[in-house]
Every structure is written in C-alpha cells, then in structure tokens.
Amino acid sequence: MYFLYSFVLLLSCFFYLPLYFFKLKIVKGESLYLKERLGINLQPESQTGRSVWIHAVSVGEVLSLQKLIQDLKEKDPECKIYFSSLTNAGLRVAQDRLIGVDKIFFKGWR
C-alpha cells in the first residue's frame, strides 16, 4: 500500500509541477525564481560589521515586520538587514513596502 501511495504521489508531481509553473509564468506573468529556489548562483556577500537576516513567508508577515526593521535601523544604522520571503506575493510586497533593507531576495525550498 505504501508503494502504491508513493507511486501516485510521484505521478501527481509530474503532472502538477509543469501546470503550476505554466500558470505562474504564462498566466500570471511572475518570475519563477528557479535559480533561487534551487540555490544556484547565489553570490556571497562580503561581510564586515553586524547583519540581520529576517525571513517571512506570507504578505501578512512582511507587513508586520515593517516596524521591526525601522526600529533596527534607528538603533543601529550601520547594521545590514537582509530580508527573504518564501512566496512571490510576499517578495513583491517586501520590495514595494520595506524601507531600510539592504537586500531583499527570494528564499526557496533549501
């Protein structure tokens, strides 16, 4: 029974993933962020001084972190703030709304 369940799950992934990417890229016109999702070609930052990495999944989490980022920058203006999001909508809102963040990027499955 476990083998049958695993086989059906594998087949559904083969059918679902191309449809998901087609819908995301063609229908909605959004980026797939495949390199970021797979961890390919991520450039390491040369780091001097303090830094903070903040990760949010949804749009609500991104919006709720605006005050925290503002307070961090006021307390230590030299601190670098890196912000990542797991969803395309969260990334888009972060790019539009977050002020004072040094780098905003998509954090995929890894």
Residue 37: predicted pLDDT: 67
Residue 65: predicted pLDDT: 93
Residue 70: predicted pLDDT: 93
Residue 59: predicted pLDDT: 92
Residue 110: predicted pLDDT: 47
Q: What is the mean pLDDT of each run of 10 residues along the chain (110 residues)?
A: 89 84 78 70 69 89 93 92 87 90 76
Is the separation of the CB atoms in 58 and 84 below 8 Å? no
The full DSSP string for 57-110 is -SHHHHHHTHHHHHHHHHH-TTSEEEEEESSHHHHHHHHHH--S-SEEEE----
Report the alpha-carbon distance of residue 4 to residue 45 in Å, rounded. Answer: 46
pTM: 0.66
Superfamily, domain 50-110: Glycogen Phosphorylase B; (3.40.50.2000)
Residue 22: predicted pLDDT: 82
Residue 46: predicted pLDDT: 66
